[in-house]
């Protein structure tokens, strides 16, 4: 949120920032964070929540266009029991394609999700992907 670490920025507003995940599940996997520190969903304020959701909506639309996505996952984990391992509130936005292999089924039809890093892009690749998304951002 303080922009001290390198990031492939996509979008920002008064209350939120959006940038690419360094270890994406799929091309275009983005993180949306509030500018004001909040540990998780339980302790962030309404203004931050509205700004983060507005940013998520704007970025999701840009991702859909940039990657011709068939769908989108938006997920968030609060506290260790739910899988949170970075203790600054954030949403993940993952553009999805039919048959992308991120979701599948086990024998008997049980649906499973495979959340694991698919690629490890270089800084130059992340910057190029971010530009591909930024040109499709329409604020609103």
**Enzyme catalytic residues:** 90
Cα 137 to Cα 38, 74, 131, distances in angstroms: 26, 17, 10
**CA angle 27–31–35, rounded 5-degree value:** 155
Return the closest-CA partner of residue 89 out of 41, 123, 18: 41
The answer to whether 18 and 8 have CB atoms below 8 angstroms apart is: no
């Amino acid at each position: 949120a303080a922009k001290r670490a390198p990031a492939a920025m996509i979008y920002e507003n008064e209350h939120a920032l959006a940038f690419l995940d360094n270890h994406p599940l799929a091309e275009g996997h983005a993180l949306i964070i509030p500018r004001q520190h909040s540990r998780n969903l339980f302790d962030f304020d309404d203004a931050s929540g509205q700004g983060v959701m507005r940013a998520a909506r704007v970025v999701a639309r840009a991702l859909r266009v940039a990657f011709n996505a068939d769908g989108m996952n938006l997920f968030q984990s609060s506290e260790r029991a739910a899988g949170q391992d970075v203790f600054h509130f954030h949403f993940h936005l993952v553009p999805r394609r039919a048959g992308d292999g991120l979701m599948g089924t086990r024998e008997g039809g049980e649906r499973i999700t495979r959340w694991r890093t698919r690629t490890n892009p270089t800084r130059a690749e992340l910057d190029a992907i971010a530009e591909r998304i930024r040109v499709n951002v329409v604020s609103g």
